[in-house]
Amino acid sequence: MSITDYSTPRFDWTSAEIQALFDLPFMDLLFKAQSVHRENFKPNQVQVSTLLSIKTGACPEDCKYCPQSGHYNTELEKEKLMEVQKVLEEAKAAKDKGATRFCMGAAWKHPSKKDFPYVLEMVKGVKNLGLESCVTLGTLTDDQAKELSGAGLDYYNHNLDTSPEYYDSIISTRSYQERLDTLSRVRDSGIKLCCGGIMGMGEEQKDRVGLLRQLSLMTPHPESVPINMLVKVAGTPLENVDDLDEFDFIRTIAVARIIMPTSHVRLSAGRQSMSEQTQALCFMAGANSIFYGEKLLTTDNPEADQDRMLFKKLGINPEQREEHSDEAVVEAIESQARQQAESKMFYDASA
C-alpha cells in the first residue's frame, strides 16, 4: 500500500489492518507515520495545551489508574470546585506561557446542578481570553452538552481508556457504552472530541489495537487523540504494574497517526519519565500536541521551560494562537469577575 492510501480518513479499519501496522518494522512504521503526518500537518508545529484540575479528588468512579478515585488511598489532598476567578487567572498564566488551549478537569461522575453553572462561567471566561477551551467532567446529559456548546466550549475530553475487552479490568463503575453515549451527545451538540486512552495498564497489544480501532470508527475521528503512558501512583491498584516498553508506546502513537491522519495526536501523561530522545521519537511518529505545565491534573509533567528547550533543540514551534492585547486579557478577567459578583454565582471553594 502506498503512503497516499493512508492520507484520507477512513472509518472502517479492521483489527487485522491495525495489527498489521503494529507488526511493521519499527523504522517502516515511523517513516509511514511521519509521511502521513506531513501530508496533513505542518511538520514542525506542535499544539500546546495546559491542563488544570478545577475539582480534585474524592471521585466516586474506581478507575484503577487514578489517584483521584475515592476508592483508593493516595494521600491526595481533596479540593472543592475552584473559584471561577482563580481558574481564569491560571488560564491567563497558561496563555502567557504559550498555551493555546486551556483544559479544565473535574473529578466527578457527572457535573451536579449546583456546580455546573460555574463551569459554564469558566468556559466563557477562557474563551474571552482568546484561548480554546476544553473540559472533562465525566458523564453528560443532552442538556449539559448543549449548554456547554452554548457557552462556547471547543473540546470535551472523555477517554475510552482501553479496548472494550480490557475495560472491565480497569473500571467497574462506568460502562464503556456510557462513555460512548456521552461522546455522541458531545458530538451532537457541536463540540469537538478529545478522546484517547492510557497505555501501560497491563493491557496486551491486542487491546491497544482494540482501543485505536474504536477511536477510528468514530465519524469523524476525534479531533484530539491523547495517548497517555500510565503514571503509576502509590495507593492505586496499578502502582506495581509492569512497565510498557517505550517502543510499544511510540508504535501506538504512530499507528494512531496513520489511521486518524487529520486528528491531533497528543503525547499526554507520562512525559515526565520519558527521555528527550523518546519524546522526539513520539513527535517523529506523528504526535503533534502536548500538555505544557508542571501538573497534569494531579501528576507531574515536565516544566514549560524544559519543553521550550526541547522544542528549540528539535526546531519545533508551538502552533500559533489568536493574539489579544494584555489590556484585553485584563479586561476579560475583570469583566468576568464583575459578572460573577452581580449574578451571585461566585463559588467559595473554602466553604
**Binding site for [2Fe-2S] cluster, residues?**
103, 134, 194, 266
Element (H, E) at 123: helix 116-128
Among 174, 185, 257, 266, the active-site one is 266
Q: Tell me if 250 sits within 8 A of 285, measured CB to CB.
A: yes
In this structure, how many other beta carbons lie within 10 angstroms of the beta carbon of residue 39?
Answer: 15
Q: Work out whether 107 is an interface residue with ligand SF4 (CB under 6 A).
A: yes
Q: Tell me if 189 sits within 8 A of 155, measured CB to CB.
A: no
Cα distance between residue 275 and residue 18, in whole Å: 27
Does residue 195 have an active-site annotation? no
Q: Please state the closest distance from residue 197 (CB atom) to ligand SF4, in A.
A: 12
When the beta carbons of 145 and 333 are compared against ligand SF4, the nearer one is 145
Binding region for [4Fe-4S] cluster: 59, 63, 66
Phi-psi region of 58 (alpha: psi -120 to 50; beta: other; left: phi over 0): left
Q: Tell me if 335 sits within 8 A of 128, measured CB to CB.
A: yes
Q: Work out whether 298 is an interface residue with ligand SF4 (CB under 6 A).
A: no
Element (H, E) at 126: helix 116-128
Q: Work out whether 59 is an interface residue with ligand SF4 (CB under 6 A).
A: yes
Does residue 282 have an active-site annotation? no
Q: Please state the closest distance from residue 52 (CB atom) to ligand SF4, in A.
A: 14
Spell out, one character per residue from 61 to 80, where the chain touches ligand SF4: x when CB under 6 A holds, - when not.
x-x--x-xx-----------
Residue (of 43, 47, 52) closest to 92 by Cα position = 52
Q: Work out whether 186 is an interface residue with ligand SF4 (CB under 6 A).
A: no
When the beta carbons of 66 and 259 are compared against ligand SF4, the nearer one is 66
Q: Which of residues 112-151 bind ligand SF4 (CB under 6 A)?
A: 138
Q: Work out whether 193 is an interface residue with ligand SF4 (CB under 6 A).
A: no
Residue span binding ligand SF4 (CB under 6 A) among the ranges 38-46, 56-64, 92-100, 327-335: 56-64
Q: What is the largest CA-CA distance in the chain?
A: 62
Q: Tell me if 61 sits within 8 A of 171, measured CB to CB.
A: yes
Q: Please state the closest distance from residue 331 (CB atom) to ligand SF4, in A.
A: 34
3-state secondary structure of 299: strand
Strands 132-136 and 101-106: parallel
Binding region: 59, 63, 66, 103, 134, 194, 266
**Which amino acids are annotated catalytic?**
59, 63, 66, 103, 134, 194, 266
**Binding positions for ligand SF4, rule: CB under 6 A:** 59, 61, 63, 66, 68-69, 107, 138
